[in-house]
Amino acid sequence: MENAQTVRVTCMKGTDVTCSIQGRSTMAVDGICTQPGEWNFAPAGTTATAPIEGSTQGTIVIDGSLAPFGIVDEPVHLEVKDGLVHNIEGGRVAQEFRALLEFYNHPSVYNIAEIGIGTNEKAELSGKLIEDERIFGAFHFGFGKSLNLGGTVDAPFHTDGMILKPIVYIDGELVVEQGRILVGVECLV
């Protein structure tokens, strides 16, 4: 992802979304700190970046978990245009997510702020974001604030949603198929 230009994510449940990541740095959560003062996250196992603002287009279908609500009761369908969520459909979790975004009453909370691939073979769907976004081969989208990821959007919050068995293309190359990573993990960062 570090030197890539475009990402396309699809899944059997209806996700089909593209975005540009040209020029964006990629964060690797590998859990390794070798120098005094370095920090990282535990558990390890994700790589992520902020898409270029306004570039994300398409449909995202969250079928794993959506923080802070946990495992979704039914898929959450998000229509995305020009980098912003414009429509949210689904069950109880979708309604609660819509209400949360409306509560903030600020357009920045609708921003597609992050994309990432899980690389931890031991991570399992738990409803807790810290583990879920690390599920090997799963894909997550972040919403809201992107400043901490190399983006430019400042929002009052940031949250993430999971796609469990994505198909991911980076610069047209198939790198994840139905949640199975097809390239070396070191190639994702």
Structural domain spans, the chain = 6-28+38-188
**What is residue 185's DSSP assignment?**
G
Please give the biggest Cα pair distance in the chain: 47
**CB within 8 A of 185, min separation 6: which ones?**
119
Specify the DSSP class assigned to residue 87. Answer: E
Instruction: Kindly tell me if the per-residue pLDDT of 15 is higher than 70.
Output: yes
Q: What is the pLDDT of residues 55-64, one digit of tens each?
A: 999 999 999 9
Mean pLDDT of the chain: 91
Using alpha carbons only, what angle is made at residue 166 by residues 161 and 172, rounded to the nearest 5 degrees? 120
Q: State mean pLDDT over 120-130.
A: 92
